[in-house]
Amino acid sequence: MELGSEMKFLVKLYNKLMLCIVIPEDSRYYVQLDGTDVAIIKLNEYEKWIQLTGRRLPDEFIYEVGLHIESRYKEDLFADN
């Protein structure tokens, strides 16, 4: 994924469907929900998605956002082949 390229997808949190935007920067990812910054996440040394900042979000939500990020990288990788 290109630096500065953002991902957009719908996600359900607290029984509400929201637009999630993920903006990559270095090894961190800024997460916005419905236009509001909510967290910064990253993949740790154990290959687990963790939240670095923001109001504490459910681990399942962080995992789901991480899956979207990983999926995007796989799409970009196979698009070049």
Instruction: Tell whether the model's pLDDT for residue 77 goes beyond 90.
Output: no
pLDDT of residue 47: 92
Tell me: the pLDDT tens digits for 47-76? Answer: 999 999 999 999 999 999 999 999 887 766
Residue-wise burial string across 32-45, b where 16 or more C-beta atoms lie within 10 A, e elsewhere: bbeeeebbbbeeee
pLDDT of residue 67: 94
Render 12-43 in DSSP notation, one character per residue: EETTEEEEEEEEEETTEEEEEETTEEEEEEEE
Instruction: Tell whether the model's pLDDT for residue 18 goes beyond 60.
Output: yes
pLDDT of residue 76: 63
